[in-house]
Amino acid sequence: MIRKIVLLGTLAVFSVGCKTPQSITQEAPKADKKKSDLKEYSKVITAEAKSDEGLFTTHFVDDKLYFEIPVALFEKDMLLVSRIAGVPSGFGGGYVNAGSKVNEQVVRWVKRNGNVDMKVISFENQSDEESPIYKSVQANNFFPILFSSKIEAWNADSTSVVIEAGGLFENEVEAINGISSRLRKEYKVKKLDKSRSYIESASSYPQNIEVKHVMTYEAETPPERDQAGTISMLLNQSMILLPENKMQPRLADYRVGWFTIDKYDYNSEELKADDYEIIRRWKLIPKDMEAYKRGELVEPVDPIVYYLDPATPEKWRPYFKQGIEDWNVAFEKAGFKNAIIAKDPPSKEEDPEFSPEDVRYSVVRYVASTTRNAVGPSVTDPRTGEIIESDIIWYHNHLRSYRNRFMIEAGAQNPDARTLNTPEAEIGEMMRMVIAHEVGHALGLPHNMKASSAYPTDSLRSAEFTQKYGLTPSIMDYARVNYVAQPGDEDVRYIRMMGPYDLYAINWGYRYLPEADSAQEEKDTLDKWILEKAGDPVYEFGNGYSGADPQSQRESLGKDQIKASEYGVSNLKKVVPNLVEWTSKDGYAYDDLDEVYRELNYMWRGYLSHVITNVGGVYETRKTSDQSGAIYEPVPSEIQENAVEFLNKEAFSTPNWMLDQDLLSRIESSEAINRIQSLQTRALENLLEKDRLKRMIANQEVNAKQAYTVVEMMTDLRKGIFSELYTSEKSDAYRRNLQRSFVDVAASYVKELETRENDEVLKSDIMALMRGELNRLKNDINRRKNRGDHELTKYHWEDLVARIDKAILAEA
C-alpha cells in the first residue's frame, strides 16, 4: 500500500485570523553543541524543582518552566488545543465564556542542531510520497515554526532533552492568543504587559500536557472600566499525543449532517485538486467481529465514557446520566450495545489519577457561572476525524433559560409551567435533553434545523403522537418547548426528545463496515442507506444557515410555520395577563417579571421571523446528481401571501395584548412605545431585506404566472401598515412609529444612490421598486391626508410626505 504524506496548507490558524502563526525564537547557537558543552542536568533541574511526570516531564525551577521531552516523541503528531479558562465580565459582549476554544492545530517537536523547534502541521493538503507532484506539494506547504528553544541539558541516559518552554506562554503568540483581531480593535488593545503575565500551572498526564497561563493586555477601552486599563485572561493550552493506530476516515455527505474536516487530494484523477470532507466521530470497533457481522449487538472495544464533574449537584446527576446514555438507543441501530457510558466522578481511592484535565477522561463539567448556555465541544484528530476527547460544559444559569421559556411558551396550556419554581420532574427532563443535545454535538452531529418541519403542525397537539415521536425527528434541532399545544390539549409532550433522524444519522456515521478497507470502499453502502430514506422528510437534513428555507429554522415547530406561529402568539396572549401573579414573590422586587416579560418579547419576535422566512422563501432538499428533481423550489405563492396577511395582523398592528398596564407599571415608566417600535422595525427590515426581494424578483422571471411578486407583496404590506390612510381612521402612536419606519426602510434603499455604497442594489429592480412605492404612498397621502379630524394624524401624514420628498431629492 502506498504510504501517504500529508502536508500543511497556507492556513494554520482558524479562530484568530488569517495569518501565519507568529514565531518566538530564543537565540540559537551558531553550531550544534556537543552534549558535553551543555549544562549538567542537575544544574538546570535543581533539587528545588517542582516536577510532574507524564507525556513530558514538566519542571518549575524558580519562575521558569522547563519541558523534558523524550527523544522518542520527536516528530510525533500532537494536537495543541487553546482554550479560554477565565475571562473578565462582559468579555466579547458576554458571548465568549470560560471553556471557549480559541484554536486547534497539530504540532511536532523537532530537534534541530542544538535547538528544539515546535512546528505547526496540517493534514488538509495531501499527496502520495511516490507521486511526481509530492515534491511540489511539499515545497508549497512549508511547515511554519511556532516556537523554538535551545537545548539546556540532556538527562542521565540521553533519552530526553530539557528546554525552557516559558517563552511559548509568556509572550504574545497569535496562534494561541485569546483575543481575536476583532476584539483587539474593539477594546483598543495596545500590547501584552509581560510584567503582569505569567504561567500559573503546568501538569503532565500520560497522553497530554496542560499549561495554564495568565495574559494581561494594556487596553484603552476594556470590557470593564474598573480594570485600570487592562484585560487579564486565563488561557489553557492542551498538548495531546495523537494515536499511532489511525482510524479509517469516513467520507462526509452533505445529505446527512456531520461536523467535518476539509481535505485536498493532489493525486486525484480529476482535473483539479480533489476537495472532499471527512466526518468527525469516535473510534468504535466491535469486540466480537463475527457476532457483529451476524447482526448481533456487540460492545465496542473502547466505549465512549463520560464522567460527571465532582461539582455536579447530586439532585441533577441522574438527569445528566440519562441524557448521556439516551444515545445508546441510537448506537444500537449501528450494532453496538453499551457504546456510551455515564459514570459518577471516582473518589481518590477509586482512581487517584482522575482529573478532568486528563485527556483520558471525558467530563460533563458543571460550571458555576451566570452564563445561560451549555456547549458540547470535542477534540478531533485532523488526520482521520477521530474524536479523541470531549468535555461537555453545563453552565449553572442555563436552568434559568429553561425555567423562563417553559413559563412563556407552555404557561397557557400547562399548570406546571406557571411558577418560577419549575417542578423537578419537568426541569430535570429539560436538563436531560439539553445534555443529550450537547452529547450529540460531541458525537459529531451539528444542528439539524430542518427536522421539525417533517411533522404536521397539528400533530404536536396530539398526546399519542408527541409521546411517541416527540416534537421533532431530531434532538439536534432547536425545538425546546411545545408552544403549538393549546389549552385543553391533554397529556401532550412539552419537551423535545431523541427522534428517528438521530438513530439514522448515528447508524450512518458509526456502523462498522468490516469489508471496506478504505473510505472510498464504504461509499456505495453509505449512499445506499441515504437513497433508501430519500423523499421522507423525517430523514432530511438542513443546518438553517441560509436564512432562505422556512422549513429549516431555529426554534420553529411543525411543517406550517404560519399556523405554528398563530398557535404560539395565541398562547402568549394568554400568558401576559398572568405574569405578575406567576413571577411575584413577597418581599422581592419585580426583577423576575421584568426578565420574563422581555424574553416573551423576544419569543414573539421569533414567531414573526418564522413566518417572514416564507416570503421569498426557497425550500431546499439536499440531493446528489444521481437523484431526480430540483434541489431548490420557491415557496408557493399562496403561502407567501398568507404569511404577509399574518404579519399585517400580528406584527404590523398595535400589539395591545403586550401593553398590559398592570404589568408595565411595575417594570418601566415609558419605554413601551420605543420597544414596540424596535420590534416592529426589525420585523419590517427583515421582511424587506435585499436578498429576500432579489429572490422574489428572480422567481417572478422564471415563474411569472404563479409567483407572489414583490409588487403584490409591497401593495399588501402598504395597505396593511397604512390602513388608517385608506379608512380615514385615527392613527395611534404605535402605528405612526411603524409607518415612519416603513418610509425610512424604503428610503434607505433610495438614499444609496447618493452614497453609491451598494452597486448590487443600485443595479437591481429594488431601487425602482422602492422609489415607485414611495411615490405611490406620497400620492395616496396627498389625496387623503385631510380626511378625518385628528390633527396629530394630519401632521403625521405631512411629515411622511416631507420624509419621502427628502429621500427622493437625495438621489437627484
713 is a domain residue: yes
Say if residue 300 is in the same domain as residue 205: no
Lowest mean pLDDT among 295-299, 663-667, 727-731: 727-731
514 is a domain residue: yes
Any residues with CB less than 8 A from the CB of 164 and at least 6 apart, and which? 26, 64, 65, 66, 149, 150, 152
pLDDT at residue 340, rounded to an integer: 98
Spatial separation of the C-alpha atoms in residues 293 and 368, rounded to whole Å: 46
Selection from 263, 240, 252 nearest residue 124 by Cα: 263
Spatial separation of the C-alpha atoms in residues 692 and 674, rounded to whole Å: 26
The predicted model gives 349-358 an average pLDDT of: 84
pLDDT at residue 18, rounded to an integer: 32
pLDDT at residue 37, rounded to an integer: 73
576 is a domain residue: no
Q: Which of 559, 592, 617 is the last residue of a domain?
A: 559
pLDDT at residue 464, rounded to an integer: 97
| 393 or 648: which leads in pLDDT | 648
Any residues with CB less than 8 A from the CB of 230 and at least 6 apart, and which? 193, 196, 216, 217, 218, 219, 222
Q: Which of 494, 524, 559 is the last residue of a domain?
A: 559
Say if residue 555 is in the same domain as residue 633: no
Spatial separation of the C-alpha atoms in residues 644 and 716, rounded to whole Å: 7
Say if residue 461 is in the same domain as residue 385: yes
Interior CA angle at 507 toward 392 and 331, to 5°? 55
Lowest mean pLDDT among 341-350, 393-402, 415-424, 534-543: 393-402
Selection from 295, 247, 79, 38 nearest residue 162 by Cα: 38
Whether pLDDT at 797 is above 60: yes
Say if residue 401 is in the same domain as residue 474: yes
pLDDT at residue 126, rounded to an integer: 52
269 is a domain residue: no
595 is a domain residue: no
Whether the Cβ atoms of residue 379 and residue 104 lie closer than 8 Å to each other: yes
Say if residue 201 is in the same domain as residue 302: no
Q: What is the share, in percent, of the chain residues with pLDDT greater than 70? A: 89
Confidence of residue 136 (pLDDT cuts 50, 70, 90): low
Say if residue 542 is in the same domain as residue 686: no
pLDDT at residue 265, rounded to an integer: 64
Q: Which of 184, 219, 241 is the last residue of a domain?
A: 241
Say if residue 621 is in the same domain as residue 769: yes
Number of domains in the chain: 3
pLDDT at residue 759, rounded to an integer: 66
Say if residue 639 is in the same domain as residue 549: no
Chain segment 649-694, per-residue pLDDT in tens: 999 999 999 999 999 999 998 889 999 999 999 999 999 999 999 9
Say if residue 541 is in the same domain as residue 671: no
pLDDT at residue 418, rounded to an integer: 97
Say if residue 734 is in the same domain as residue 618: yes
Say if residue 464 is in the same domain as residue 377: yes
Backbone angles phi, psi at 152, to 5 degrees: -90, -35
pLDDT at residue 474, rounded to an integer: 97
345 is a domain residue: yes
Say if residue 686 is in the same domain as residue 544: no
377 is a domain residue: yes
Whether pLDDT at 344 is above 80: yes
Chain segment 144-193, per-residue pLDDT in tens: 899 999 999 999 999 999 999 999 999 988 888 888 888 888 888 989 99
Note if the pTM is more than 0.75: yes
Q: Which domain holds residue 630?
A: 608-810
Whether pLDDT at 226 is above 60: no
177 is a domain residue: yes
